[in-house]
Amino acid sequence: MKEKVRWAFIIEKDEFVRLSLKKILNKYGFKVEEIDNILQLEKRKKDIKEGVIVADLEIGEIEQQLPLLKKWNERLILMSPSITDEVVQRLKELGIEKLIKKPVEPNILKKIIKEISFPGFEIKG
């Protein structure tokens, strides 16, 4: 039986961070695709259902794309270099639950990913 591909989508402007995340997510068993913005995911609904989105988005982008983000909230991990209590509270009010501080610690990312349901898929690494 052919093994299912589990996708990880990265939205990140910094090339070094993108490369680091790609390496980490590949190690965990994901096929990784870098994308420029959240709107590109509209055509990938099926892949998102069984994948994960790791994104660094500004609060303005989050508010602008909120309906889309809420739809995929279970699979969305938001990254930010400055996580304050105020930011966490604001994001929770918007319905964003999974938040990770940059620079991303691989073990923390793995822990958050393990909280997401991936039937029949074991996180490697």
- CATH number of the domain that 25 lies in? 3.40.50.2300
Parallel, antiparallel or unpaired: strands 31-35 and 52-55 = unpaired
Interatomic CA distance for residues 45 and 54, integer angstroms: 15
**Band (88; pLDDT cuts 50, 70, 90):** confident
| 119 located within any domain | no
| 93 located within any domain | yes
Interatomic CA distance for residues 36 and 34, integer angstroms: 7
pTM above 0.75, yes or no: yes
Range of the domain at 51: 7-114
- Written as six digits, the tokens of 74 are 């279970």
**Band (2; pLDDT cuts 50, 70, 90):** low
Domain count, the chain: 1
| 124 located within any domain | no
| 110 located within any domain | yes
| 1 located within any domain | no
- Written as six digits, the tokens of 44 are 């990938």
